[in-house]
Amino acid sequence: MTDARRISSRRRPGIAPWLFISPWILGFFLFTLGPMVFSLIMSLHDWPVVGERKFIWFDNYSTMLTQDPRFWESLGITVKFALIFVPLNIALSFLLAVLLNVKVHGTALFRTAFYLPSIISGVALVMIWKWIYSKDYGLLNYGLSLLGVDGPNWLGDPHWSILAIIIASLWGLGGTMLILLAGLQSIPKELYEAARVSGVPAWAQTVYITIPMLSPMLLFTFITSLISAFQQLTIALLLTKGGPLNSTYFFAMYIYDNAFKFHDMGYAAAMSWVMFLIILTLSMLVLKYSAAWVHYEGEAKGGGNG
Amino acid sequence: MRLAGLRISKLRKSFGTVDVLKGIDLEIRDGEFVSFLGPSGCGKSTLLRCIAGLEDLTEGVIHLDGREITDLPSAKRDIAMVFQNYALYPHMNVRKNMAFGLSLNGMPAAEIDARVRDAAETLRITELLDRKPRALSGGQRQRVAIGRAIVRKPKLFLLDEPLSNLDASLRVTMRAELSALHDRLGVTMIYVTHDQVEAMTLSNRVVVLDKGRVAQFGRPLELFHRPANLFVAGFIGSPQMNFLPAKIEEQTADSITISLNGTTLTIPTLGHAPVDPARPVTLGIRPDRLQLAEDGQLSGTIRLAERLGTENHLHIDLSTGDPVVVITDGTHPARARDQVRLRISPADTHVFDADGRALPRKLDPATEALISEPQGPADPA
Ligand SMILES: Nc1ncnc2c1ncn2[C@@H]1O[C@H](COP(=O)(O)OP(=O)(O)O)[C@@H](O)[C@H]1O
Ligand SMILES: [Mg+2]
């Protein structure tokens, strides 16, 4: 009797479970895995927007790596951008989060204010920055002139353009800040009180308590900042169009131009895959070496009471 | 003269418009083990945190060993604190958790090492020194938290419900260990708890707090046998003391005659100021002192009989409608809906005036001797 019941309950589950998860499955295949496979196939072709497509094995990749100085230039600019943007983004977000974590009147207002740029459309933001950076009518140079400094041509001078883009990009640190702020608020306040009672100075509380406790969030924001740095496109495209003298010609912009200006979809797809592999490798390296400094909360087995 | 111990005078603490502590005066002797006992929200933790320097006082002064510490930062007060949830640094191993504060204050490494080793031996956690807190059980974490306090060699230990996150059997073990630790270190300890058993068993003296005021400060048995007011009488002892409304019939300098349910009782006191005979008083009697007896003065019906094995708790509705609880031997056959009579002996009762203050109770010599035994260091009794 019991055996029979067990067998009947073990019968094949049928189609219902699949139907329940089908929205995700469909979405994943149609919008994630599908396009990825498609772009991989594309990258192995000479794939003009109109005209004959030709399977050319890895020609796109070898051209890129051996015969295309622009590829290396744009990659170099992107790396330079990431090297400055990622640490700055995290450091500033962290500082802001620490400031906004102080319980005084009006912090809610400031939290909103700092998050605001993250919800404004990128295009609107860029228009504002264009005005701020404008050589003769810009807010920034006006401010500098009050201090007696003759401001540079921010967007027109290849020495300053990348800095201008970094600063504008940092305007979107609201999201990062919010994650770190949430992390700060989840640190039990007793840890600081225990430290206070034993005479641990404030700087040491930050270094030895806050940062280790925040390390999972710092790791997360590090990786997401890295990814967004490599994907940087909108701001450069709208603010400088890659100029002057290609000083802000980012990797992603080169992909964009290959696809929509030079109509070479195959080459653009191949570049996208290179970008994907770079990001993947970097993220994996970061994750691998993070074990040494990231502290994960959570009970080990057998912990707890007793 | 240097006054050893902790002295708190006229301490008030408000959060915004909420008065949490409403004038606390306490003198705790050097080396004493004192508990702050009271229901949740009465201000125990706040008082402890004021002593620790984690909260600013609204008013009042605190002295430790003759030195005013009211406005000193926590670290300079010569105190150590153990938190309810242990507050161990999760990313540091046990050794580091204990050494962290010391090393940042520039103590030589050899000294730190010696202190950590000593504390670990005392608490029997030497083999855990290299583990992270998450790999420890609740009891072990508790020990580490205490160890972190010990290595500071403070004048005053503050413990905020340190055992309340442990399971019942571990709590009993840790209670005994804490008591032994206090004996060994001989340092003043203040222990916050809402558990009267912990307070009664561990402490030399207990501060009972009621809504931000000291309801009574005394030895454990004093609180039990001579509660100063209705609050303490009701809070200490389980099941709770029975309270019955009564009227004053007559009073002399050292006795009071009251009537309740048509019977009168003459209760001896230690000599009391005259009580207004027009106002009602409350008679208190502990459940184990009410006796089922054919010739008892009160009658009632058993509503519920709880059999716990060793004893029964009988919930009885008196003929006047007042509910009382009576403890009988576990083998007593009484059951629900039985009609019973209850006897009260005057010597077992407590009398509270209309404001809830107890009239000083006359105890039999044996109990009197018991509650005035010296309790802990420098007890003048
Ligand atoms: N930081 C605070 N802000 C406002 N109210 C508080 C704060 N801390 C405690 N209180 C209030 O003070 C009262 C006493 O709290 P507490 O001392 O923690 O009680 P206990 O430890 O006796 O349970 C409670 O009503 C609590 O809500
Ligand atoms: Mg508390």
Local confidence pLDDT in tens for the 381 residues of chain B:
456 899 999 999 999 999 999 999 999 999 999 999 999 999 999 999 999 999 999 999 999 999 999 999 999 999 999 999 999 999 999 999 999 999 988 899 999 999 999 999 989 999 999 999 999 998 899 999 999 999 999 999 999 999 988 888 888 988 999 999 999 999 999 999 999 999 999 999 999 999 999 999 999 999 999 999 999 999 999 899 999 999 999 999 889 999 988 889 999 998 888 888 899 999 999 999 999 999 999 999 999 999 999 999 999 999 989 999 999 999 999 989 999 999 999 999 999 999 999 999 999 999 999 888 877 776 766
Rounded distance between C-alpha atoms, residue A78 and residue A25, angstroms = 34
Q: What are phi and psi of B248, to 5 degrees?
A: -80, 130
CATH value at residue A152: 1.10.3720.10
Higher pLDDT, B35 or A101: B35
Q: Specify the range with the lowest mean pLDDT, choosing from A175-179, A200-204, A240-244, B274-278.
A: A240-244
Rounded distance between C-alpha atoms, residue A81 and residue A75, angstroms = 10
Nearest to A97 by CA among A181, A168, A37: A181
Partners of residue A303 in chain B, C-beta under 8 Å: 134-137
Q: How confident is the model at residue A7 (pLDDT cuts 50, 70, 90)?
A: low
CA of A38 to the centre of ligand 1 (A): 62
Rounded distance between C-alpha atoms, residue A11 and residue A193, angstroms = 58
Pairing relationship of beta strands B79-82 and B255-260 according to DSSP bridges: unpaired
CB contact under 8 Å between A306 and B53, yes or no, is no
Partners of residue A302 in chain B, C-beta under 8 Å: 137
**A165 at B interface, C-beta within 8 A:** no
**pLDDT at B281 (0 to 100):** 95
Q: Specify the range with the lowest mean pLDDT, choosing from A107-116, A190-199, B58-67, B226-235.
A: A107-116
Domain count, chain A: 1
What atom of ligand 1 comes closest to residue B44's alpha carbon? 22
Nearest to B122 by CA among B87, B159, B149: B149
What atom of ligand 1 comes closest to residue B160's alpha carbon? 21
Tell me the mean pLDDT in the region A220-240: 90
Determine if ligand 1 sits within 6 Å of the CB of residue B193.
no
**pLDDT at A6 (0 to 100):** 54
Cα B123 → chain centroid: 25
According to DSSP, residue A48 is labeled: B
Q: What residue ranges in chain B does DSSP mark as E strands? A: 6-15, 18-28, 33-37, 59-64, 67-68, 79-82, 156-160, 188-193, 205-210, 213-218, 242-252, 255-260, 263-268, 281-285, 291-292, 298-307, 311-318, 323-329, 339-343, 349-352
Tell me the mean pLDDT in the region A278-286: 93
Rounded distance between C-alpha atoms, residue B296 and residue A109, angstroms = 71
Pairing relationship of beta strands B59-64 and B6-15 according to DSSP bridges: antiparallel
Q: How far is CA A233 from CA A167, A176, A254, in A?
A: 14, 19, 10
Write the Ramachandran bin of A161: left for phi over 0, alpha for psi from -120 to 50, otherwise beta: alpha
Residue B57 contacts residue B12 (beta carbons within 8 Å): yes
Please determine, for residue A299, whether its predicted confidence score (pLDDT) is greater than 60.
no
Cα A143 → chain centroid: 31
Question: Which ligand sits nearest to residue B37's alpha carbon?
Answer: 1
Q: How confident is the model at residue A34 (pLDDT cuts 50, 70, 90)?
A: very high
Q: How far is CA A43 from CA A54, A108, A125, B135, in A?
A: 11, 48, 34, 50
ipTM of this predicted structure:
0.87
In which domain, by residue range, is A271 found?
58-290
**A297 at B interface, C-beta within 8 A:** yes
Nearest to B45 by CA among B82, B89, B4, B98: B82
CB contact under 8 Å between A195 and B79, yes or no, is no
Element (H, E) at A218: helix A211-230
Query: Nearest Cβ partner of A200 from B52, B80, B100?
Result: B100
Q: How confident is the model at residue A112 (pLDDT cuts 50, 70, 90)?
A: confident
**pLDDT at A11 (0 to 100):** 66
Tell me if A12 is assigned to some domain. no
Tell me if A269 is assigned to some domain. yes
**A150 at B interface, C-beta within 8 A:** no
Q: How confident is the model at residue A10 (pLDDT cuts 50, 70, 90)?
A: low
Rounded distance between C-alpha atoms, residue A24 and residue A291, angstroms = 32
Question: Nearest CA of chain A to the CA of B87: how many Å?
Answer: 5
Determine if ligand 1 sits within 6 Å of the CB of residue B46.
yes
Please determine, for residue A116, whether its predicted confidence score (pLDDT) is greater than 80.
yes
Cis before residue B245, ω within 30 degrees of 0? no
- In this structure, the dihedral spanned by the alpha carbons of residues B214, B219, B223 and B225, taken in order and rounded to 10 degrees, is -160
The angle subtended at Cα B3 by Cα B2 and Cα B7, nearest 5°, is 145
Partners of residue A196 in chain B, C-beta under 8 Å: 53-54, 73-75
State the sign of the Cα–Cα–Cα–Cα dihedral B125, B126, B129, B135: negative
The angle subtended at Cα A156 by Cα A155 and Cα A162, nearest 5°, is 50
Tell me if A14 is assigned to some domain. no
Predicted TM-score of the model (pTM): 0.84
**pLDDT at A9 (0 to 100):** 54
Q: B174-211 burial, b for 16+ CB within 10 Å, e for fewer?
A: bbebbeebbeeeebbbbbbbbbbebbbebbbbbbbbbe
Determine if ligand 1 sits within 6 Å of the CB of residue B13.
no
Determine if ligand 1 sits within 6 Å of the CB of residue B89.
no
Three-class secondary structure assignment of A121-174: CHHHHHHHHHHHHCCCCCHHHHHHHHCCCCCCCCCCCCCCHHHHHHHHHHCCCH
How many CB atoms are located within 10 Å of the residue B54 CB?
A: 20
**pLDDT at A304 (0 to 100):** 39
The length of chain A, given as a count of residues: 306
Tell me if A69 is assigned to some domain. yes
Tell me if A168 is assigned to some domain. yes
Q: At what angle do helices A174-185 and A107-119 cross, to 10 degrees?
A: 140
Query: Nearest Cβ partner of A197 from B52, B138, B166?
Result: B52
DSSP, collapsed to helix, strand or coil, labels residue B122 as helix
Domains of chain B, each with CATH number or no CATH: 4-231 (3.40.50.300), 235-370 (2.40.50.100)
Rounded distance between C-alpha atoms, residue B275 and residue B250, angstroms = 10
DSSP, collapsed to helix, strand or coil, labels residue B10 as strand
Tell me the mean pLDDT in the region A205-214: 94
